[in-house]
Structure 1
């Protein structure tokens, strides 16, 4: 019999293998539907492409929305030269230093995959000042082994073709640590899927929402929250595991393999999410009750879908539960299956403990 950790690994491996950059999440969306439809009382896809699965509450019409985004950072072909080399533009927060020498997958018009590598002028013929600099996107190109623009076009690649890193999920270390592409946020997505499957006897309505286009402005969360109108919202995402040699210990955000991170604040000077204090207390109390290890997170940059859900209509008490990840927004992200499993457990227990009285306590501020 498979362990819960092995089940999560299998879901994660499937989700990370395929390509789903922002705005092109179709293949991932199909996988999410396949995973959730037998566990949902209702399931729909909205006009932007978000998947919304519902488990009806047994005692209350109040709504808890648990969101995780489907999209990954990637590239888009912007120019094809006469020799068959491809220029590209970033989709989402990619830095040039993570791209050098990477293998990539390009999706053709008929949804086939053509593989290539990201190239750069060799160091032997660089000027000394060039060798010291991080190359610009304009210096990089993709080599797919063709020798003319016509050959590229005949094989289904054109301006606007999407590109993802060519990486498979692999276990490293003791087997509980995994590395691969798009763990931001397929790790959170896998945790949400597993949690939704395990939620039962829920008193309030549970909305599991797989969102689109988080990496380019939290777009899916904005429209899906407007549609769902949640009373409480939780985002499951990754955060920075900065426990690595190049970062002083006092500057660490979170550590790998020490449990999910309960976010207190993010964005520049709190411009992202300032988590609802009573909701933070509720989630930490649930974690303590069920002996789920956790960390508290203060992040000075970046944000999650929780920021968008937090500002829906008249405001929604919101929080992010994050899976610590090393090297995020790179082809070699690293997460712990233990953290992922505990994130799923915590989300399940929070949904189980949520009731109408709790929600009313979180949202009502009547003075007289």
Structure 2
């Protein structure tokens, strides 16, 4: 059954493999979707995608960035018995890793495997209570020796990503996939340029897909250096606080209640005057939003706001369940409202307004 265009875009983006440093597959897909709405599309030298749409070529530069990469793994070596040892790429919690299916991207194509685990029958009562250390884990691809694994095309440096098909759930507003972190940000950047295609706006808009966010916000630094924005928005996933066991003060946002405006994270304090401007636009247009903070994480805005002489920046999040695991869930309304908000904000960001925000 064919999907409507937005869902097809979600499927294309989320199912593509793109561990940090190996984002080319996702970049090609984002390029395909954003190109029809851009005046120019190019890359920085480490692979971040930049799509430029001109409203007023003498106006301010507004950057809207999602990151292309997803958390994954990198093969470090092959054992004599054909098992694959690996290094994590991005933040993984051991309890969501064991016995999960993965795809190994080799020189000869993708190979499916599983992160091996011992059955509980042979574990001591004490061992069952403890999480297995990542350093002790391995990937089983069905090879019986190092030589056989090598004939499959496996080499050290190959990357590995989770397997989880894009799924529209029984409630069609609920969408499950791997890599929502942060293909939803890439989708929002695409959709913002699409909505602006036949709209006037007093600025230049740059829809950006950055690389290597999960390992240090690296592509945000290089792409912002290329763009030299006057205003920047990082669009990423946020933590959903609406599942059992999450305390209200641990995560404020709920799915379906609008995009999150991050007042603080470990990489940046959200620019107050820019945030106030965005809030005013949201309230004028009856667009729902939520405040949130993430003391233990950061977004691409953490690097973007330090570009040049400094860039007023704001991180906008989409409340998402089960991030940094094999399967995550988000709400389509939050995507739509994030796009609506950014479009209305961009239409008002003229030169005078930007000067007032900078102060």
- Shorter-chain TM-score tier: over 0.9
Match for residue 132 of structure 2?
A: 135
Match for residue 335 of structure 1?
A: 330
Match for residue 357 of structure 1?
A: 352
Name structure 2 gaps, 5 residues minimum. none
Provide the rounded CA distance (Å) in 2 between the counterparts of 1:320 and 1:76. Answer: 29
Shift of 1:343: 1.0
Provide the rounded CA distance (Å) in 2 between the counterparts of 1:252 and 1:96. Answer: 21
TM-score by length of 2: 0.96
Shift of 1:227: 1.5
Provide the rounded CA distance (Å) in 2 between the counterparts of 1:357 and 1:138. Answer: 54
| TM-align CA RMSD | 1.5
Alignment of 1:49-88 (within 5 A): 49-58=47-56, 60-88=58-86
Provide the rounded CA distance (Å) in 2 between the counterparts of 1:346 and 1:283. Answer: 8
Match for residue 300 of structure 1?
A: 295
Match for residue 174 of structure 1?
A: 171
Shift of 1:138: 2.5
Match for residue 315 of structure 1?
A: 310
Q: Is the 8 A contact 1:180 1:334 kept in 2?
A: yes
Q: Secondary structure at the match of 2:111?
A: strand
Match for residue 13 of structure 1?
A: 11
Shift of 1:59: 6.6
Alignment of 1:216-365 (within 5 A): 216-267=215-266, 272-364=267-359
Shift of 1:60: 3.2
Superposed structure 1 runs of 4+ greater than 4 Å apart: none
Which of 105, 116, 132 is 2:113 aligned to?
116
Q: Is the 8 A contact 2:186 2:208 kept in 1?
A: no
Provide the rounded CA distance (Å) in 1 between the counterparts of 2:250 and 2:142. Answer: 44
Q: Secondary structure at the match of 2:355?
A: helix
Paired positions, count: 356
Q: Is the 8 A contact 1:266 1:298 kept in 2?
A: yes
Q: Secondary structure at the match of 1:116?
A: strand
1:193-218 deviation per Cα after TM superposition (whole angstroms, max 9, x unaligned): 11111112111111111100011111
Is 1:150 the equivalent of 2:142?
A: no
1:314-351 deviation per Cα after TM superposition (whole angstroms, max 9, x unaligned): 11100011100011101111111111111111111111
Shift of 1:261: 0.5
Alpha-carbon spacing, 1:122–1:33, altered in 2? closer, same or farther (3 Å): same
Provide the rounded CA distance (Å) in 1 between the counterparts of 2:133 and 2:242. Answer: 28
Shift of 1:21: 0.5
Name structure 1 gaps, 5 residues minimum. none
Q: Is the 8 A contact 2:259 2:290 kept in 1?
A: yes
Q: Secondary structure at the match of 1:215?
A: helix
Match for residue 205 of structure 1?
A: 204
Q: Secondary structure at the match of 2:214?
A: coil
TM-score by length of 1: 0.94
Q: Is the 8 A contact 1:8 1:191 kept in 2?
A: no
1:292-326 deviation per Cα after TM superposition (whole angstroms, max 9, x unaligned): 11101122110101111111121110001110001
Shift of 1:159: 1.1
Q: Is the 8 A contact 1:262 1:294 kept in 2?
A: yes
Q: Is the 8 A contact 2:48 2:209 kept in 1?
A: yes
Provide the rounded CA distance (Å) in 2 between the counterparts of 1:82 and 1:334. Answer: 39
Provide the rounded CA distance (Å) in 2 between the counterparts of 1:226 and 1:43. Answer: 16
Match for residue 32 of structure 2?
A: 34
Provide the rounded CA distance (Å) in 2 between the counterparts of 1:327 and 1:19. Answer: 19
Provide the rounded CA distance (Å) in 2 between the counterparts of 1:305 and 1:197. Answer: 22
Q: Is the 8 A contact 1:262 1:321 kept in 2?
A: yes
